[in-house]
Chain A
Amino acid sequence: MPSREMIGRVLSTGSATVSAEHIAEFARALGDPNPLYLDTEAARRGPYGTIVAPPTYPIAFMTQAMAGGMDTFLELGLDFMTLVHGEQEFEYARPVRAGETLTLVGRIADVYEKTGSSGTLDFVVLETEARDAEGTVFLSRNTLISRRR
């Protein structure tokens, strides 16, 4: 069962370099034609001087930021058959830029439960933080919900 003592536990740290090609693949998968995501020339003339990423692009870092967390996930004891992505939150200092290298930290930001007429639901909030030399670039919080057996 998820325990509040697990709040703050770091699952992994690492870094990732952002490529213009991957940003373009992500934007195309959304069907988003914004030239600041896709067109090097347009992006050079734009407000950031380079290709930038769509607002939900930080989700693509999640797998890496949570890698190494498998033991913790088992310890959380979530029922994978009922696990759903219930909520998502992002905070941004600025858009992610092509070519930059970000430091990533994955951690458990919160653990709580809610009990209603249909039983108890466990909530686990996984947080990915990306930093550059100046500080936090984005925070991504992924709320997973599972029904307690």
Chain B
Amino acid sequence: MAALAAAAVAVGLEFPPLVKGPITPEELKAYAAASGDPNPMHTDDEFARNAGYPGVFAHGMLSMGWLGQFLVQAAGVGSIRRFRARFVKLTWPGEVISCRGRVTHVTDEGGERLVECEVWSENQEGERKVTGNALLVLPRR
């Protein structure tokens, strides 16, 4: 795994983006099954339309899952100590989603480097869908 070297981390560092999509309804069905989320709002177009939406939309947790993949891709499995997300706008089938993030604060504690970062997902127009932050812990070596 591409583990992030603690010495290379500085405030403002941007992690390599992760691009997902275009999102398909089949993907939403697969995520619903795997995560155990029974809400038909994500899998049944007619149900979503009856609730006043143009159709199904993605689970917030699918977008957060992609942000998790993005963070692990940058810092390695087991590096995340805390991870928060706010679901700001709905994410729709057909959209292409980029996961992005950057380092906002770095402190050293014992043999570890604590790295605060802000993360977000945005569509192809740059509209932010999910915003959040994470605390990564890296060995200082």
Contact = CB atoms under 8 A, between A and B. Distances in A.
Interface stretch (B4-12, B76-84, B107-115, B121-129): B76-84
A19 to B, nearest CB: 12
B20 A29 contact: no
A95 B78 contact: yes
Interface in A44-60: 46-48, 52, 54-56, 59-60
A85 interface: yes
Give the size range of A's interface with the partner.
Answer: 20 to 34
B65 interface: yes
Nearest to A46: B77
A84 interface: yes
Contacts of A22: 34
A130 interface: no
B34 A63 contact: no
A22 B100 CA distance: 27
Interface residues of B, number: 32
A56 B61 contact: yes
Interface in A61-86: 62-63, 81, 84-86
A95 B71 CA distance: 14
A55 B61 contact: no
B59 to A, nearest CB: 8
B87 A56 contact: no
A31 interface: yes
The interface residues of chain A, by DSSP majority, are classed as mixed
B20 A31 contact: yes
A92 interface: yes
Interface in B15-59: 20, 27, 30-31, 33-38, 51
A62 to B, nearest CB: 8
Contacts of B37: 59, 63
B87 A89 contact: no
A34 interface: yes
Interface of A: 22, 25-26, 28-32, 34, 36, 46-48, 52, 54-56, 59-60, 62-63, 81, 84-92, 94-95
Interface of B: 1, 20, 27, 30-31, 33-38, 51, 60-62, 64-66, 68-69, 71-72, 77-78, 80-87
8 contacts: A26-B34, A32-B69, A46-B1, A56-B61, A88-B64, A88-B84, A89-B84, A95-B77
